[in-house]
Amino acid sequence: MPTKSSERWIRDGENMVKEFKKLGYKTDLQYAEDVVENQVSQIENMITKGVNVLVIAPIDAEALTDVLEKAHKQGIKIISYDRLIKNSKYVDYYATFDNFKVGVLQGQYIEQKLGLKEGKGPFNIELFAGSPDDNNAYFFFDGAMSVLKPYIDSGKLVVRSGQTKFDQVATLRWDGATAQARMDNLLSAHYTNARVDAVLSPYDGISIGIISSLKGVGYGTPSKPMPVITGQDAELASVKSIIAGEQTQTVFKDTRELAKKAVEMVDAVLKGKKPEVNDTKTYNNGVKVVPAYLLEPVSVDKSNYEKVLIDSGYYKKEDLTK
């Protein structure tokens, strides 16, 4: 797994270990704290130990080509988890969510909240994307822009900064502090006499940084309400923020289901069977199309968080009131 700094990876790791144990497998769980070299050496150690399968959520999608060749030579199967490993023909399968749809849900939420379909506007929006070394970041952004771009083109959504291309709005390592610093700059350069009506944020950790920046210039008051702010992962801090009326929306990806699916894939591979896949077209990693299983993401806001997150047992009610 990439890092413990994001709560979701801790859950992913724990859920997989639990599911593997149920089936009687021994598991070695490692976190590389977002340092690519750590991840490579962790994988090398696992190869030396003689593991049968590697399940990897890459930090840098393009940094594992050599080490995976070593794994393949040892007969080790490779499953890409949540994020696609690029430029390796040795990635056997991919378990993830419908990442384009994640972005569509974020874009549609902004569309609905601002009443864009009803012809309302113009509104001011700023755009944020994820890390350029994470393949998913492009899918999230493209999904959102498939909804938002027509409104930007027609002038109903105005990006005052003019920053609408992925490379202008990307956030390295999904870092909240980096996003906060960029938002500070956007506000001082383009919004001294204008208000922000919406911010496309691809991930909760980025949303929290954006909210800190907005609060710093007086947003979140009756005279200057928070803009519509999207997110992803239903992290605890962001769900609390949604309940408090700051962040507006997040996209929930039930990592319990993703962990289960990855474990099913591993179990099938080790038994010499073909794992279940439902997508053999979308995920070209540069050298092959990796057969994938895509799970469904769910849009969450104040109106449905109890049903989606508490009733499903993902969070306990007291988690959200602490």
**pLDDT 10s per residue in the chain (322 long)?**
999 999 999 999 999 999 999 999 999 999 999 999 999 999 999 999 999 999 999 999 999 999 999 999 999 999 999 999 999 999 999 999 999 999 999 999 999 999 999 999 999 999 999 999 999 999 999 999 999 999 999 999 999 999 999 999 999 999 999 999 999 999 999 999 999 999 999 999 999 999 999 999 999 999 999 999 999 999 999 999 999 999 999 999 999 999 999 999 999 999 999 999 999 999 999 999 999 999 999 999 999 999 999 999 999 999 998 8
Q: If one looks up domain 7-91+254-295 in CATH, what number appears?
A: 3.40.50.2300
Q: Residue 80: helix, strand or coil by DSSP?
A: strand
Within this chain, domains 7-91+254-295 and 99-252 share the same CATH topology: yes
Domain boundaries along the sequence of the chain: 7-91+254-295, 99-252
- DSSP letter at 308 equals I
DSSP letter (8 states) at residue 1: -
Considering the entire predicted model, what is its pTM? 0.94
Q: Which CATH class is domain 99-252?
A: alpha beta
Complete DSSP assignment for 141-162: HHHHHHHHHHHHHHTSEE-TT-
Cα separation of 184 and 196, whole Å? 12
Per the CB < 8 A criterion, the answer to whether 43 and 2 are in contact is: no
286/237 Cα distance (integer angstroms): 36
Helix (H) or strand (E) holding 198: strand 198-200
